[in-house]
Amino acid sequence: MRNIMVATDGSPGASRAIDVATELVKGLGGTLTLVTAGQAVRTEEHIRYAIVEGDLADAAETFALQILSDAEQSLHAGTAAPKTHLVWGDLPKRS
């Protein structure tokens, strides 16, 4: 297990997963990939981005890219720059 991928939504739980993955990657000499999913604008934070960006699609992308950027910046010293991916999707509605 030299390549580790961690999905992040910017939550504290995801940050802890990134911390653990970072330590594993350093110990194994592997690579880390961070991924987040962009989704439709629907939270107050998304709406604030939309006001600044002037476009809902741009706001969703900016919000998702910020999550990846924050995750990258939280990596431990000595960790190689991770690969990052932004995918698009939406969570299914719960019944």
Q: Where are the domains of the chain?
A: 3-88
Q: What is the mean pLDDT of the chain?
A: 79
Q: Is the pLDDT of residue 78 over 70?
A: no
Q: Is the pLDDT of residue 32 over 60?
A: yes
Q: Which helix (DSSP H) or strand (DSSP E) does residue 86 occupy?
A: strand 83-88
CB-based contact 10:60 (threshold 8 Å):
no
pTM above 0.75, yes or no: no
Which homologous superfamily is 3-88 in? HUPs (3.40.50.620)
Tell me what the mean pLDDT of segment 81-88 comes to.
Answer: 84
- For residues 75 and 94, the model is more confident at 75
Report DSSP letters for 4-65, one per residue. EEEE--S-HHHHHHHHHHHHHHHHHT-EEEEEEEE----SHHHHHHHHHHSSHHHHHHHHHH
CB-based contact 66:38 (threshold 8 Å):
no
Supply the pLDDT for residue 81. Answer: 81
Q: Is the pLDDT of residue 53 over 70?
A: no
